[in-house]
Amino acid sequence: MADNRIEVDWDSARASNLDNWEDRVPLHEEAYGVRDLDDPNHLTSVVRTDLAALAPFLREGTVSGLDVCHLQCHIGTDTLSLARAGARVTGVDFSPRALASAASLAKRLGIAATWVETDVLDARAAVNGDFDLVYTSIGTINWLPDLDRWAGQVAGLLRAGGTFYIRDGHPALYSVDEHADGLQLRYPYFGKGEAQLWDDESTYAGDGKVAHSPTYQWAHPLSKIINSLITAGLQILHVDEDRTIPWKFAPRMVQVEGGFAWPDAERDLVPCTYTIIARKTGE
């Protein structure tokens, strides 16, 4: 069984990942269906799902009127959907090309938004103000080596009483061999600080190929994700796990309502996503 774990310094890993995400922008502008947002009532399916999950934990059951910071926002389709739902939005990403795309889309749609170019691990220093909601979804923190530092940024961006929301690919799913004929574990569930090296020209959306294919990601068990937020001073309000995921993680997955899932006989065997909702306590 091949082992893709590798020692790499953050600057080198970040540079390689940035090249890859810059390449993804024009591919995702097409694959994400940005023209769907021309309909003033359209919200992305990701945001529709997340707003329903968030509603019981927001004071008025809505993001309307809230200051929202969207971390790792990419080309901004979900950010602008949050704005459509009534939020005042700030999108944060490390890709200049992605943020230029997001700003262009916001201008075309006539939606007010603030865009900040920075690593998410430095977000508190780069972003002005504090927020009622810090939002992260989906396919995000596996790109980060240091979850304690990440959680500290989240806590620093929230005002007292503010809410944090994340929905992401489940670390149990990420340990599965996506190309095996059945459910078979291949990759580490428990990260030891080593990166995982991937060399793949494809992207999770659309059929295009990137010019810069190597990327580095990190495995984080669910316990580490939760405990990093607790250590940063957040109160965990809700944890959920689900059988579907918005992208086709493996060729054997089938399309279902809400995204993609394993075939029926395997659907209860491994979770596909997790959701955590937390709150910053204090006055």
Q: How many helices, marked H, and strands, marked E, lie in the chain?
A: 8, 12
Distances (CA, A) of 219 to 7, 14, 168: 13, 16, 13
Cα 1–Cα 10–Cα 125 angle in degrees, nearest 5: 140
Class of domain 5-280: alpha beta
Please classify residue 233 by burial: count the beta carbons closer than 10 Å to its beta carbon, then call 0-12 exposed, 13-18 middle and 19+ buried. Answer: middle
Torsion sign, CA atoms 179, 175, 195, 204: positive
Cα of 138 vs its chain's centroid, Å: 3
As a whole number of angstroms, the distance between CA 77 and CA 109 comes to 11
As a whole number, the mean pLDDT across the chain is 93
For residue 19, which of 77, 75, 98, 83 has the smallest C-alpha distance? 98
Beta bridge partners of 87: none
pLDDT in tens, 81-102: 999 999 999 999 999 999 999 9
Lowest-pLDDT choice from 6-10, 28-32, 232-236: 28-32
pLDDT higher than threshold 60 for residue 32: yes
Count of other CB atoms within 10 angstroms of residue 79: 30
Domain ranges of the chain: 5-280
pLDDT in tens, 101-121: 999 999 999 999 999 999 999
Strands (E), the chain: 5-6, 67-71, 88-93, 114-117, 131-137, 158-169, 195-199, 214-217, 234-242, 254-256, 259-261, 273-280
Q: What tokens does 199 get?
A: 């060399």
Q: pLDDT category, 283, cuts 50, 70, 90? A: low
The pLDDT > 70 percentage for the chain reads 95
pLDDT higher than threshold 50 for residue 1: no
pLDDT of amino acid 31: 60
Pairwise pLDDT comparison (93 vs 283), residue with the higher score: 93
Answer whether 270's CB lies under 8 Å from 178's CB.
no
